[in-house]
Amino acid sequence: MRFRLAGAVLLSVAAYYVYLPLPSGVCEPWKLMLLDAVFRTFMQASDAAHALGLCHRVHLLNHLVSWVEEIEARSCDAVHVTDCKLGGVSTRVFQPKGGEKLKRGVVYFHGGGWALGSGRMRSYDRLCRKMAEDLDAVIMSVDYRLAPDAVFPDQFNDALAASWDFLSLEVLERYGVDPERLCVSGDSAGGNLAAAVAQELSSDESLTVKFKLQALIYPVLQALDFHTPSYQQNQAVPILYRPYMARFWLQYLGGDSSLEPLLLANNHSSLDEVAVDAETRSRLDWTTLLPSERRKDYKPVVKETGSPGLTDELLAALTDVRAAPLLAEQRILGRTPKAYVMTCEFDVLRDDGLMYVRRLQDAGVPVTSDHYEDGFHGCMVFASLPMMSDVGQRSLNNYIQWLDRNL
C-alpha cells in the first residue's frame, strides 16, 4: 500500500512538473510539454552548476546535449557520411550513393542560439541524411564555433569561411556538385547565419559561383525589439521562451548577462539611443511590415529614454547586419537569391521571419512563405522518434519538396 501511495505521489509530482498550459492550437501539446520538461531540466541543472561556480552554464548544457545526442559519422546503403574541414571549419558531409553524376548541394547551419548543438547531433544527422537521399544532394552540415568561447563575429566568420570554400570549384569538383544548383540553409540561429551569409556573398563581385537559393527555417533576425506581436503572444510558449532568446543574444554578442532585463524591456532601442536611427527602426517596424492578422491588438513598446550600461561595442553589434540580417538595406536584400522562409505561429521568432519575407518581397526577391498555424519553435527537427511530431513531419516534407522543385 505504501509503495502504491508513494508511486501515486511521485506520478502527481511528475505530472505537475511536466504540465504546462499551452495555446489550444499547438500541435500535440503533450509531446511539447514532455520536450519542454526535458529541456527545462537540463537548463536548471546548468544554471545551478553556473551559480555554484562549477562551470559555465552553456558548457554543462552542451555536455549534456552531446552525451544524449551526438553520434559518429556512419554511412548506410544510400548515403556516405564523413567528417571533414570546410574552410577550416569542422563539417559533416552527406553524399548520396548513385543517382545523377552532378549533385545538388546544400550547406546547412544548425540551430541552438549560437551556443548549443552540433551537426553531429542525431536530429541533425537524420535531417541531413534524409535531405541527401531524397534530393540526391550533397549536404554539408557545418559545426561553427559556439558561445561563450566564441562571440560575434566568430560564428558568422566560420559560416562565411565554410560557405566560401563550399562555392569553390575545387570543392564542388571533389564532391561532384553542380555549381548551378547550390543552396544555403539553416534553422533558428543557423537561419540567422544562412541569411547573413546569403547577403554577404550575393554582394561579392569576386565570386564566380553563387547560391541559387536561401532556405531559412524559423530564423532569428533581429534583437532590437523583444515586443513584436509574436514575442508578446508566445513569451511563455516552449521551447524558446522570451528570456532565453535575450540570453542567447547577449552570449552571442559578448554582452553581460545582467543586461537581460534591459533588452527584455526594449531599453536598448529607446528613442534617445542615437545608434538606432529612424531608417534602422523602419526596417523592423512590424506595424507596417506585418499583416493585420499577425499584428492583432498588440501595441508597440517603445521607450523614450533608455538605461545606462550598454557598451558601444554591444550597440554596434545589435545593429550590425551580419548579426541582424533584417536590418540590411533594400539594395543588399535585392541581390540575395530566391528564398524560402518557414515560420511557426507559436514561436517568439515568428515575426522576425514574416518581416523578412515582406522586406525581401519589397526588394524584388521571389519568396515562399511557409507558415504553420500549429507549429512551435524547433518543430522541424522533431520529425522522427523518439519525439516525433506531426507538424515536424509536415514541415520537413514541405521544406524538402520546395528544395526539390527549386534547386
Return the bridge partners of 93, or none: 82, 140
Calculate the dihedral angle through the C-alpha atoms of 60, 64, 113, 104, rounding to the nearest 10 degrees.
Answer: 140
Residue position matching grid coordinates 559578448? 254
Q: What CA–CA distance (Å, rounded) separates 394 from 344?
A: 12
Q: What CA–CA distance (Å, rounded) separates 134 from 96?
A: 9
Beta-strand runs (E) in 143-254: 177-187, 213-217
Looking only at the bridges linking them, the beta strands covering 79-86 and 89-96 are antiparallel
| Cβ-proximal residues to 340 (8 Å cutoff; 6+ apart), any chain | 213, 214, 215, 216, 367, 368, 370, 399, 402, 403, 406
Helix residue ranges per DSSP H, 254-389: 260-264, 278-282, 286-289, 292-295, 312-318, 330-333, 350-362
Alpha-carbon torsion (370, 373, 379, 380), positive or negative: negative
Cβ–Cβ contacts within 10 Å for residue 398, how many?
16
Q: How many Cα atoms sit within 13 Å of 37 on the Cβ side?
A: 16
Cell of 18: 511536466
Q: What CA–CA distance (Å, rounded) separates 256 from 164?
A: 32
Burial of 134 (0-12, 13-18, 19+ CB in 10 A): middle
Catalytic residue among 123, 141, 185, 188: 188
Q: Give the amino acid at 269.
A: S
Peptide bond into 239 cis (omega under 30): yes
Beta-strand runs (E) in 67-169: 79-86, 89-96, 103-109, 137-142
> Active site includes 188?
yes
Q: Give the amino acid at 170.
A: E
Catalytic residues, by residue number, are 188
